[in-house]
């Protein structure tokens, strides 16, 4: 079979031949048709993860066949028995365990879910890691309601777009932020009520005029997270799933306690989150936003696209049939 192999930090992504590993008891072989990139893949290649183990096959997201059944892979391994938080042995498919940038991958049978019939393999591959992260943030932790006014920051990335889609499907009014006016326009075309340019120094004033926010879904952290507290409604919820802009330099506990805000952390999702997400996608027939599709052999170009950060939606690799 063909696979992408990474041998070292910042090393080349090599398309190589390999023999599929032997299945152990309770495992299945997925004959992959599509895989999707996440920022995690780029950060691992750059050496920004602890306990890196080389060589390995990257990739967390994948869709394909188990025998004759179309399936999607849940990449969250060994979550543990408590739905509220992951176990110490929790890991994500694609490092150290060989991932989905290959024609075949071996995974535990309980990680396999039927693929939604209304999606292509490329669309289905766009679900797993970003989808379950967004679902847990928006639905499980954020407890989104149809009466909520929701703000999703950094629209264009995979998790942010999924959060917007889940909130919209729940009947909520959704606003977004971005540093790119074109991305705001794209979000509005998908159902967002409006958006704000976070690189505008007056964006908080503009957002305040639009009305208070009940639920914030944020993956950036930094000063932006401190700013959104100013536009939250009393009793509002702020769910943080990432920190791409770093620590919060202007954090004001006065706003937090005076408004009785709820600051909630979240990451990835439990097996029950993944199952509920798949049911939700099937019920509402949600179609993921795919920015572009590359062949497996063009993995370097796909990574470069992710690093540029200009995408609106998921970047997907099409896996050739063996």
Domain boundaries, the chain: 2-127+288-318, 132-265
pLDDT at 227: 87
pLDDT digits (tens, 9 = 90+) for 146-191: 999 999 999 999 999 999 999 999 999 999 999 999 999 999 999 9
Q: Could you tell me the pLDDT band of residue 240, with boundaries at 50, 70 and 90?
A: very high
Beta-bridged to residue 71, according to DSSP, are: 64, 114
To the question of domain 2-127+288-318 being in CATH 3.90.180.10, the answer is yes
Give the CA diameter of the chain: 60
Per the CB < 8 A criterion, the answer to whether 229 and 213 are in contact is no
Residue 243 pLDDT > 80: no
The answer to whether domain 132-265 has CATH 3.40.47.10 is no
- pTM, to two decimals: 0.95
Residue 250 has pLDDT above 80, yes or no: no
Q: Provide the pLDDT confidence category of residue 303 given band limits of 50, 70 and 90.
A: very high
Q: Give the pLDDT mean for 48-70.
A: 94
Task: Report the distance separating Cα 195 and Cα 182, nearest Å.
Answer: 11
Residue 251 has pLDDT above 80, yes or no: no
| Spatial CA neighbour of 103 closest among 295, 314, 300, 278 | 295
Name the token pair of 204: 């908080």
Nearest to 96 by CA among 45, 42, 35, 55: 55
d(CA 196, CA 181): 8
| Residues in the chain, total | 322
Segment 86-109 shows an average pLDDT of 96
Q: What confidence tier does 297 reach under pLDDT thresholds 50, 70, 90?
A: very high
């Amino acid at each position: 079979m063909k696979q992408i192999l990474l041998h070292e930090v910042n090393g080349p992504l090599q398309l190589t031949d390999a023999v599929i590993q032997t299945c152990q008891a309770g495992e299945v072989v997925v004959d992959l048709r599509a895989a999707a990139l996440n920022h995690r893949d780029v950060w691992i290649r750059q050496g920004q993860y602890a306990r890196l183990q080389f060589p390995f096959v990257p990739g967390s997201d994948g869709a394909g066949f188990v025998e004759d059944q179309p399936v999607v892979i849940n990449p969250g391994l060994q979550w543990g028995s408590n739905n509220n938080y992951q176990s110490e042995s929790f890991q994500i498919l694609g490092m150290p365990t060989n991932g989905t940038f290959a024609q075949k991958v071996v995974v535990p049978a309980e990680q396999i879910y039927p693929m939604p019939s209304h999606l292509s393999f490329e669309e289905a591959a766009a679900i797993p890691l970003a989808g379950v992260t967004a679902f847990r943030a928006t639905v499980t932790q954020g407890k989104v309601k149809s009466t909520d006014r929701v703000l999703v920051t950094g629209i264009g990335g995979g998790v942010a777009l999924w959060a917007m889609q889940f909130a919209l499907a729940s009947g909520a009014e959704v606003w977004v932020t971005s540093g790119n006016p074109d991305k705001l326009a794209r979000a509005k075309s998908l159902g967002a009520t409006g958006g704000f340019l976070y690189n505008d120094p007056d964006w908080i004033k503009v957002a305040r005029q639009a009305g208070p926010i009940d639920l914030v879904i944020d993956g950036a952290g930094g000063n932006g997270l401190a700013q959104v507290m100013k536009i939250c409604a009393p009793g509002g919820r702020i769910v943080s799933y990432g920190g791409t802009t770093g620590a919060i330099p202007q954090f004001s506990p006065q706003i937090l306690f005076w408004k009785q805000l709820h600051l909630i952390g979240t990451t990835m999702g439990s097996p029950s989150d993944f199952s509920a997400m798949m049911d939700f996608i099937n019920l509402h027939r949600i179609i993921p936003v795919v920015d572009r599709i590359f062949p497996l052999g063009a993995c370097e170009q796909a990574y470069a696209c992710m690093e540029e950060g200009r995408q609106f939606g998921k970047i997907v690799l099409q896996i050739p049939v063996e």
